[in-house]
């Protein structure tokens, strides 16, 4: 029996054989020569890398195939051809079973029950928004819902009915949109007309302004709810104040009537006293005896005393009446002030108490007019909170609302009494700065940024640093307030692009 060769001897012999046979010195040729000399079967090397690439290209379509891919990965790691074969075979069979199922399902051409149910609920949810005026839409939607509620729904039938419904629903949706726009226009016209017919009633004008602000697009349920709550509050305050004002006015009329009546009584008493005195004087002229004179004198003295007493009572009553009139007049002035204040509430944003768009328009008109008259500089700034959407998404809308209130409070504390803060929309605010040049306006907003950095906003236990980007524009001689705000908005956008938390001039 031949003694087995040492591996180093086999290796040297394999190299000589490669040279003798003039074979390329590749790993595969060397392995073949080595196996031949060592009398070993010449099996190809285990292709781990290609198999890994094959594994990466396979995707499981069901749980069974997913498990077989895990087994295939393990077999490759163990370099087990048998495991690879078994895993691939099982993977293919699982795919065939899935394919047969899909073919059978496609052959049946039916909607899955869960999908049909969701589609039916979707149609039912969308239908109210389209209204009930179009009977075709109502009929088609009802028919489609009934079809989708059946145990088996053929795709072809459902598709045809859904296509017809979509075609009609497009027209119905466009019509509803036009109806909404026209209703808003009509409402706007009616409110404006009421305001023009009631120009002398400043209290009603405040409500009119609030209504006009509430129907201005874009409309959101949240905005309408806030305006409804605000207007109800205003109307309740105005109702109480106006009711008391009517009562006070009635009291004034009653006191005036009482005053006139008292003057009449005094006049009648004075006339009667005058007649009495004249009669007594004639009787005194005809008296010839002294003893007859005394009763007449006593009568005159008694009448004089009575007149003096009645005059004193009337004077006291008139004095009391005058005091009542003074108190009622003061109350009326207070009630009128309350009504003016309640009316002014309709011009303020209900969340931040800054002016709303209507209040901003009025303030802008007033400031621009004042600027033209005095020929003084006037600047406006538009600021926008940085990353406000992220704050809302992460902490919720309630935290976002509190952040807006926080910004408005800090801004009011930092501005001059002559400056005006208004909420322009969403997280945007406008600041009106009379008697302010562009450079000064930029410095005002930069100072506000520093103050806001010091006043940390707390969202629960979390400290939130609120920053904003702002643009400032000085109103030109021939420019409107709206145009100045537009220029400030463009500068604010550039400040955002430049890295946020910046103030740029327009």
Q: How far apart are CA 348 and CA 135, in angstroms?
A: 44
Which residues, 6 or more positions from 446, have their beta carbon under 8 angstroms from its beta carbon? 503
Matching CATH number, 242-345, of 1.10.132, 1.10.287, 1.10.3470, 3.30.450: 1.10.287
Tell me whether residue 95 is exposed, middle or buried, using C-beta atoms within 10 angstroms of its C-beta: 0 to 12, 13 to 18, 19 or more. Answer: middle
Per the model's pLDDT, the better-predicted residue between 190 and 143 turns out to be 143
* Predicted local distance difference test score (pLDDT) of residue 107: 44
Class of domain 357-505: alpha beta
Q: Over pLDDT 70: what percentage of the chain?
A: 64
Closest to 67 measured CA to CA, from 93, 49, 47: 93
Q: Which residues of 206-239 are buried (b: 16+ CB within 10 A; e: fewer)?
A: bbbbbbbbbeeeeeeeeeeeebeebbeebeebbe
Per the model's pLDDT, the better-predicted residue between 323 and 489 turns out to be 489
Q: What is the mean pLDDT of residues 37-57?
A: 72
Q: Mind giving me the DSSP string for 201-225?
A: -HHHHHHHHHHHHHTSSSP-HHHHH
Q: How far apart are CA 269 and CA 234, in angstroms?
A: 52
Residue 474's DSSP bridge partners are 379
* Predicted local distance difference test score (pLDDT) of residue 455: 85
Closest to 345 measured CA to CA, from 200, 205, 184: 205
Prediction pTM value: 0.40
* Predicted local distance difference test score (pLDDT) of residue 54: 76
How large is the angle between the packed helices 290-345 and 202-214, nearest 10 degrees? 10
Q: How far apart are CA 106 and CA 466, in angstroms?
A: 57
Confidence label for 201 from pLDDT (cuts 50, 70 and 90): low
Residue corresponding to tokens 């709810």: 225
Confidence label for 91 from pLDDT (cuts 50, 70 and 90): confident
Return the structure tokens found at 364: 């802008």
Q: Over pLDDT 90: what percentage of the chain?
A: 17
Per the model's pLDDT, the better-predicted residue between 439 and 243 turns out to be 439
Cβ(500)–Cβ(386) below 8 Å: yes
Q: What is the mean pLDDT of residues 400-429?
A: 91
pLDDT at 1 over 90: no
Average pLDDT over the chain reads 76
Determine which of 136-150, 269-283, 407-421, 464-478 has the lowest per-residue pLDDT on average: 269-283
Q: In this predicted model, what pLDDT tens digit does every residue of 375-384 receive, in sequence order?
A: 899 999 999 9
Determine the straight-line distance between the first and last CA of the chain, rounded to whole angstroms: 102
* Predicted local distance difference test score (pLDDT) of residue 108: 47
pLDDT at 474 over 60: yes
Q: Mind giving me the DSSP string for 325-344?
A: HHHHHHHHHHHHHHHHHHHH
Q: Domain-by-domain residue ranges, the chain?
A: 7-108, 113-193, 242-345, 357-505
Cβ(472)–Cβ(445) below 8 Å: yes
Q: What is the mean pLDDT of residues 280-294?
A: 67
């Amino acid at each position: 029996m031949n003694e087995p060769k040492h591996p180093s001897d086999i290796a040297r012999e394999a190299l000589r054989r490669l040279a003798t046979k003039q074979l390329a010195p590749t790993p595969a040729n060397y392995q073949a020569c080595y196996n031949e000399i060592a009398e070993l079967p010449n099996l190809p090397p285990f292709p781990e890398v290609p198999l890994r690439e094959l594994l990466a290209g396979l995707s499981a379509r069901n749980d069974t195939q997913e498990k077989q891919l895990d087994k295939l990965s393990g077999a490759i790691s163990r370099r087990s051809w048998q495991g690879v074969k078994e895993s691939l075979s099982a993977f293919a069979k699982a795919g065939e079973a899935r394919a047969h199922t899909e073919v059978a399902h496609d052959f049946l051409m039916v909607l899955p029950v869960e999908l049909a149910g969701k589609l039916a609920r979707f149609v039912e949810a969308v239908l109210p928004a389209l209204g009930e005026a179009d009977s075709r839409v109502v009929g088609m939607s009802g028919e489609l819902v009934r079809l989708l509620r059946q145990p088996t729904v053929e795709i072809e039938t459902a598709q045809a009915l859904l296509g017809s419904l979509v075609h009609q629903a497009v027209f119905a949706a466009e019509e509803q949109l036009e109806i909404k726009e026209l209703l808003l226009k009509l409402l706007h016209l009616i409110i404006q007309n009421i305001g023009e017919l009631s120009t002398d009633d400043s209290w009603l004008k405040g409500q009119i302004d609030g209504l006009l602000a509430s129907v201005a697009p874009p409309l959101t349920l949240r905005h309408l709810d806030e305006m409804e709550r605000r207007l109800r509050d205003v109307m309740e305050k105005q109702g109480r104040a106006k009711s008391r004002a009517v009562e006070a006015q009635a009291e004034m009329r009653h006191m005036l009537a009482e005053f006139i009546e008292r003057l009449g009584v005094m006049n009648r008493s004075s006339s009667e006293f005058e007649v009495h005195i004249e009669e007594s004087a004639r009787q005194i002229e005809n008296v010839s005896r002294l003893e007859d004179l005394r009763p007449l004198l006593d009568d005159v003295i008694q009448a004089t005393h009575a007149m003096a007493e009645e005059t004193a009572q009337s004077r006291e009553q008139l004095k009391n009446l005058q005091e009542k009139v003074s108190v009622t007049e003061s109350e009326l002035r207070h009630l009128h002030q309350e009504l003016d204040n309640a009316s002014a509430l309709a011009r303020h944003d209900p969340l931040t108490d800054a002016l709303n768009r209507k209040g901003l328009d009025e303030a802008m008109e007033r400031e621009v007019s004042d600027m033209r008259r005095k020929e003084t500089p006037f600047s406006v700034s538009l600021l926008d909170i940085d990353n406000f959407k992220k704050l809302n998404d992460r902490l919720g809308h309630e935290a976002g609302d509190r952040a807006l209130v926080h910004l408005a409070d800090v801004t009011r504390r930092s501005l001059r009494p002559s400056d005006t803060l208004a909420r322009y929309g969403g997280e945007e605010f406008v600041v009106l700065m009379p008697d302010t040049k562009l450079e000064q306006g930029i410095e005002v907003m930069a100072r506000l940024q520093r103050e806001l950095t010091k006043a940390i906003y707390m969202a629960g236990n979390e400290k939130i640093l609120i920053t904003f980007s702002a643009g400032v524009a000085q109103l030109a001689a021939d420019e409107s307030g709206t145009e100045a705000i537009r220029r400030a908005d463009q500068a604010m956008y550039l400040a955002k692009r430049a890295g946020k938390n910046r103030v740029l001039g327009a």
